[in-house]
Structure formats: C-alpha cells, structure tokens
Structure 1
Amino acid sequence: MRRGVAARRRTLMVHLYVPGSTSTQITSTHRSPRFGFVVSKAVGNAVVRHAVTRRLRQVCAMRAHTLPDGACVVVRAFPPAATATSAELDADLCAALEKAHGRLQR
C-alpha cells in the first residue's frame, strides 16, 4: 500500500500498484492480478466481515480482466460496506479502480 495510487469511494478504498509502471522497474511475466482485502472490526462482527469479504472477492473476480498484468490491488472496506448490496460494491469498486488507473497513467 506504500506504492502505487489510491482512490476512495463511499464503501471502500482501492490501492492499485502495477510493477514497472513507476520508477521501480520489476520485470514480470504474464500473471493475473492479485487482490488483498482489509475489513476491520468497524465494519461489523465476524459474520458480517466475512460476508463483506466474500462479496468483495466475487466482485473483484469479475473485474480482474480489466486490470493490467501483474497488478496488485488492496481493497479496504468501510463500515457502509456492511449494508451495501453487491451491485453497490461493484459500482464503487469499478469507479475506484477507474480513478486509480487514471492516476497511475499520469
């Protein structure tokens, strides 16, 4: 999360890092994007946190093809994610990834 760029939406924050896109040159072969999830106790109890993580994992799997090869993505859920639908999480993730990718291109 120290490298790359971040973008925030109402239910989540996305940290995006693509090796080789900044001054740090790392040679990488073709590999699919990697995702990590941060869902704190502020989101809810264990049952709620795991449900949020499962929904985020599903949403990220559907969006993985839109990311560059070797991308590393960390998704941090905020408390409103506990009551958000999968469609809302998908919309927030798409918007945050698009914004982060735009910042990465600059």
Structure 2
Amino acid sequence: MLPEPHRLRRRSDFSSTVRRGRRAARPDVVVHALAGAQAESLVSDPGPRFGLVVSKAVGPAVIRHRVARRLRHICAGLVDQVPEGAYVVIRALPGAATASSAELDGQLRSGLRKLNLLVPAGTSE
C-alpha cells in the first residue's frame, strides 16, 4: 500500500500537476509529472507524491478498483526512486484493464524515465 505522505489528495495538486507539468504517454497509462522549481511552490512534505486517475472509461467499478490497487502497489515500489518533491499523476487508459501488472510497471517506469524522474535505488540526488 502507498503510505499516506506519498499520496496526492487535493484537487488543486492534481490539476497543477496535469496542467503545468510534463507528460509521457504510454499504451495503457499517461504519466503527468511536476518536479523541480515548478513543484517547489506546491511541496509541503518531503518525498514524491503520487495520484491516480482511473475513469469509468477503464471499466466498471470492480475493474477500476483493481487497476487502482495495482498502480498504487507499483507506486509504493517507486517511492525511493523518484526525486523528493516530485508530483506524479498517473492516468489509466482503457487498456489498463487488461494489462498485466508487469506491463503496467514497465510502462510507468518507461514514462518516468522519459521525464527524467526515475533515479536508480541507492543513488542520492
């Protein structure tokens, strides 16, 4: 489970990240990220913060919740690899409903690498 300090909760944080941040599209997810000087005005706690957007286009409630649980689990494993102060919003696309957890993990990591936000574990920045 993704610890509370690493979750995006406020609507303003989501909208700022999506509107002012950069994005990387993948087949089943779109990764929006706000980091560096842009995110400094928003950051109140250290550590990266993750938010999920899983719309009804993904499927019925059971499928949406399954996709959200899998994405939260993946994000929990990325906390140490994303720079402090980064805001990341992951928008699930309809294909996420049938994608495996390994595929979602690979796509999320690929999107974060494209945005230069994936730091190898154990490396200080």
Which among 27, 33, 40 is matched to residue 10 of structure 1? 27
- Name the counterpart of 2:109: 94
Matched residue SS, 1:35: strand
Work out whether residues 14 and 93 of structure 1, in 8 Å CA contact, stay in contact via their aligned partners in 2: yes
Once superposed, which parts of structure 1, at least 4 consecutive aligned residues long, lie more than 6 Å away? none
User: Which structure 2 segments of 5+ residues have no match?
Assistant: 1-17, 118-125
Whole-angstrom distance in 2 between the partners of 1:38 and 1:26? 23
Work out whether residues 33 and 86 of structure 2, in 8 Å CA contact, stay in contact via their aligned partners in 1: yes
TM-score (norm 2): 0.73
Q: 1:101 offset after TM fit, Å?
A: 2.1
1:1-106 matches, within 5 Å, as 1-20=18-37, 22=38, 26=41, 31-101=46-116
Q: 1:19 offset after TM fit, Å?
A: 4.2
TM-score (norm 1): 0.85
- Count, aligned residues: 100
Matched residue SS, 1:15: strand
Whole-angstrom distance in 2 between the partners of 1:27 and 1:58? 24
Q: 1:50 offset after TM fit, Å?
A: 0.3
Q: Is the alpha carbon distance of 1:25 and 1:73 closer, same or farther for their aligned partners in structure 2, counting shifts above 3 Å? A: closer
Which is bigger in relative contact order (C-alpha 8 A, separation at least 6)?
1
Q: 1:2 offset after TM fit, Å?
A: 1.0
